[in-house]
Amino acid sequence: MSKSIYQIVDDLPKINMTVRMLHALDWVVPGQWQNIVGFENTIKAVTGETDQKLIQKIGERAIALYNDKSQGYQRALWLYQTVDYVQGVAGFGALLSKLGESFSFLSFLDKLTPKSDTTQAVDLGLKVVTEIACFCQVNGIPGDSVGDFVESLADYKHEALMRMAAMICVDGLIPLGPDFLDKALALIDKTGASGLESNSRYNQIKEYIPGKNTAEQITFMQKGLSSVKDWSKSFVSSHNLGVDKVVASLRGTLPGVESHLDYLGAFLDMSVNYYEHTGTQSIARSLISRAAAEI
């Protein structure tokens, strides 16, 4: 039996490699993200409520909304979880837990193969498509509503803004450089249907990508990337982001990263699940906000 939403939120880690990475990038959107763990803690943080009986009612209503399969919350959470899943991540997680605070990035180099730029571009495209799909699922609107999603970016805050900031830094700037969106669009166009079909992430979430076939889904992915281009460029400019600055902020979490950038994208891909972590927090916030308004 799958876990309930309150169990999933209760089980969010207080500290692990993902949380360390998000804290290391906190300067990008200061004050927006807190690692709120626990369903009751989230209710209190979102609503400001202290009355235990009302907290209980809000929690029960939020759980009921999540369990209602006609709503999109379960599908959105599955998407956030699935797009972050990479084969082998569990093994790396076990190694990381043993190393703990004495973790050395260099010791993992013989375990990794740098990902190609094309694979990085597809992964970035799939992250954007997933964010669009989750936005549509949670808000009950058609899955191809790219325009509504782009308009909503202006209102992104808390976990959602942290997730987009991390995506720009970790899936954009570090692996693909300052012109990451232009480069990603060109590479996805070049990879074609067969190239996309060989990507494990694509195969896991393709049923939720608008399009009758792979070619149409590539077009939608390119549309999604193009749609966030202006917002992303403005975000990078206004926050003075650059590869060197982002990598420097990760130095405390990943010692030695400066001289091993080819491996950094692959390592982060294997060892963090920031989409699932912040996505779970976003869905919990959405459920609780709606539940509080309905009771």
Identify the three-state secondary structure at position 151: helix
pLDDT at 254 over 70: no
At 290, is the secondary structure helix, strand, or coil?
helix
Whole-number pLDDT of residue 90 = 42
What is the average pLDDT value for the chain, to the nearest integer?
87
Question: Residue 138's closest CA among 275, 277, 274, 286?
Answer: 286
Provide the pLDDT confidence category of residue 87 given band limits of 50, 70 and 90: very low
Cα(9)–Cα(73) distance, rounded to whole angstroms? 13
What is the reported pLDDT for 272? 86
- SS (HEC) of 89-110: HHHHHHHHHHHHHHCCHHHHHH
* Confidence check: pLDDT of 240 > 60: yes
Residues 6 or more apart whose Cβ sits within 8 Å of residue 81: 273, 276, 279
- Residue 103 to residue 94: CA distance in whole angstroms: 12
Q: What is the pLDDT of residue 37?
A: 96
Q: Is 209 in contact with 219 (CB distance < 8 Å)?
A: no
Mean pLDDT for the stretch of residues 214-235: 94
* Residue 171 banded pLDDT, cuts 50, 70, 90: very high
Task: Give the residue ranges of DSSP H helices in 206-256.
Answer: 214-227, 229-238, 243-249
In this prediction, residues 182-199 reach a mean pLDDT of 89
Reported as a pLDDT band with limits 50, 70 and 90, residue 75 is very high
- Residue 63, token pair as written in the block: 């759980």
First to last CA, the chain: 29
| pLDDT at position 249 over 80 | yes
Three-class DSSP category at 228: coil
| CA dihedral for 214, 216, 220, 221, sign (positive or negative) | positive
Question: For position 184, what pLDDT does the model report?
Answer: 94
Q: State which of 131-135, 138-142, 201-205 shows the largest mean pLDDT.
A: 131-135
- Specify whether the CB–CB gap between 281 and 159 falls below 8 A: yes
Domain ranges of the chain: 5-294
Whether 146 shows a pLDDT value over 60: the answer reads: yes
Confidence check: pLDDT of 114 > 70:
no
Query: What confidence score (pLDDT) does residue 3 get?
Result: 87
Q: Indicate the pLDDT class of residue 113, thresholds 50, 70 and 90.
A: low
Distances 175 to 43, 55, 93, 249, 271 between C-alpha atoms, Å: 37, 43, 22, 16, 15
What is the tens place of the pLDDT at every residue in 4-33?
999 999 999 999 889 999 999 999 999 999
